[in-house]
Amino acid sequence: MKTKYSGSLKFADHKLLFYLYALFLCPLLTIHAHTTEAAKTDLSLCTDTSDFRFHQWQKDDLAELTDQRIIAERTALEITYPSEGTVWTIPDPVELKWYTKNIPVDRAIRFYLVKDDMVVQELGRFENNNFVDGVSLDRSLPAGNNYRVMGIEMFPADKDHIAKYATAFFTINKAPRKKTVQPEIIKEMVVAEPEEATVVIEETPVRNTFEGRKITYIKEMNVNNADISISLWDHGRKDGDVVSIYLNGVAVVSNYALTYQKQKFDIQLDASKPNDLFLYAHNLGKYPPNTVSIEIKDKIDSENIVLNSDLKSCEAVLINVKD
Domains, the chain, in order of start with CATH, read 76-174 (2.60.40.10), 209-321 (no CATH)
pLDDT score of 70 more than 80: no
23-32, 55-64, 91-100, 106-115 — which is least confidently predicted?
A: 23-32
Which residues on adjacent β-strands are paired with residue 86? none
At 54, which helix (H) or strand (E)? helix 26-73
Dihedral sign for Cα atoms in the order 10, 11, 16, 21: positive
pLDDT score of 5 more than 80: no
83-87, 139-143, 150-154, 189-193 — which is least confidently predicted?
A: 189-193
pLDDT band at 200; cut points 50, 70, 90: very low
pLDDT score of 289 more than 50: yes
pLDDT digits (tens, 9 = 90+) for 116-163: 888 889 999 999 999 999 999 998 888 999 999 999 998 888 777 889
pTM for the model:
0.41
Q: Produce one character per residue of 282-307: b if its CB has 16 or more CB atoms within 10 Å, e if not.
A: bebbeebbbbbbbebebeeeeeebbb
| Cβ proximity of 295 and 231 under 8 Å | yes
Higher pLDDT, 254 or 56: 254
Q: What number is the average pLDDT over the span 234-238?
A: 76
Tell me what the pLDDT averaged over the chain comes to.
79
pLDDT digits (tens, 9 = 90+) for 243-285: 999 999 999 999 999 888 899 999 999 999 999 999 999 987 7
